[in-house]
Amino acid sequence: MKAVEITSHGAPEVLRLCTRDDPQPGAGELLIRVAASGVNRPDVLQRMGQYPVPPGASDLPGLEVAGEIVGGDAAELAQAGFKMGDRVCALVAGGGYAQLCVAPIGQCLPVPEGWSDVEAAALPETFFTVWSNVFDRGRLQKGETFLVQGGTSGIGVTAIQLAKAFGATVIATAGSTQKCQACLDLGADHAINYREQDFAEEAKRLTGGRGVDVILDMVAGDYVAREVGCLAEDGRLVIIAVQGGIESGFNAGLVLRRRLTITGSTLRPRPVAFKAAIAQKLREQVWPLLARREGVKPVIHSTFAAADAAQAHALMQSNQHIGKIVLTW
């Protein structure tokens, strides 16, 4: 099969098209003929040598794919409601930048009726991440106020749509007037240009001084202190990336007095059973919304041929995109 490999750690140009042996599915796995592969920030970090591959995972980058089932145990597939030839999208721990990809059956979901492979490939990584962190870990409830940092990132556009679909008031941050408007177009109630406004002060103003209930943060660093300061009583801060650095100082007294929760997670190294449980919740709660196209959809910024993966990574690092970047095979 053809695949895109990381020849050495470094700039986007270290990505090269190569030929690899076809992977073989094991127990509880299926084989997908990949039509499209999602590009995500962890792929960039892996290429730069800042995100080690979990034990047992492919060294090829790529955490999400969409395509056709061409292999796997027929009995186990049937038990999961799949058969040969079905179109699925899948969350994987690696190996997504390839024409063939092995995926745990429990981490696969059917491609919603009428959706393209490119659209489907843009779903798993962000939808699994947002559901696990905003709804499971952050416990966002209908009627609460939700703040997402980086509202036009792949995670951001998904978080805006899902939080709104489940009845939250949504505040998003972004770095330009254009990106703020994109957040509003996706359903956010308010958008804050963090280059021109203090997001913490603005969040408190927008909530009448009460503060927000849940924050999804991909920055960390000095953002944490400001986020703690704009959380409502019993508020929850969920950190899923540390683009602003790993060192954070904050007012611990506010945590005590306001009964705040500061938590975080990474999804890639979690066991299959954990991810399969998220997939089941998505299938029950979110996939019907996707099938009906009810306010929840992938936002595709650009597609690139797999051979041009370096260009896709360069675009992601430029932070000029709104939504998802996808490779096609």
The boundaries of every CATH 3.90.180.10 domain in the chain are: 2-125+268-328
Q: Are 123 and 64 in contact (CB under 8 A)?
A: yes
Superfamily of domain 138-264: NAD(P)-binding Rossmann-like Domain (3.40.50.720)
CA angle 275, 281, 283 (to 5 degrees): 100
Tokens of 217: 């943060």
Bridge partners of 109, per DSSP, are 89
Q: Is the pLDDT of residue 30 over 90?
A: yes
Model pTM?
0.94
CATH 3.90.180.10 describes domain 2-125+268-328 = yes
Helix (H, G, I), strand (E, B) or coil at 308: helix
For 149-180, the pLDDT digits (tens) are: 999 999 999 999 999 999 999 999 999 999 99
Kindly indicate the confidence band of residue 295, based on its pLDDT and cuts at 50, 70 and 90: confident
The boundaries of every CATH 3.40.50.720 domain in the chain are: 138-264
> What pLDDT does residue 302 have?
96
For residues 56-74, average pLDDT: 96
Q: Is the pLDDT of residue 44 over 90?
A: yes
What are the C-alpha distances in Å from 281 to residues 16, 93, 199? 36, 19, 32
> What pLDDT does residue 2 have?
98
Q: What percentage of the chain has pLDDT greater than the value 70?
A: 100
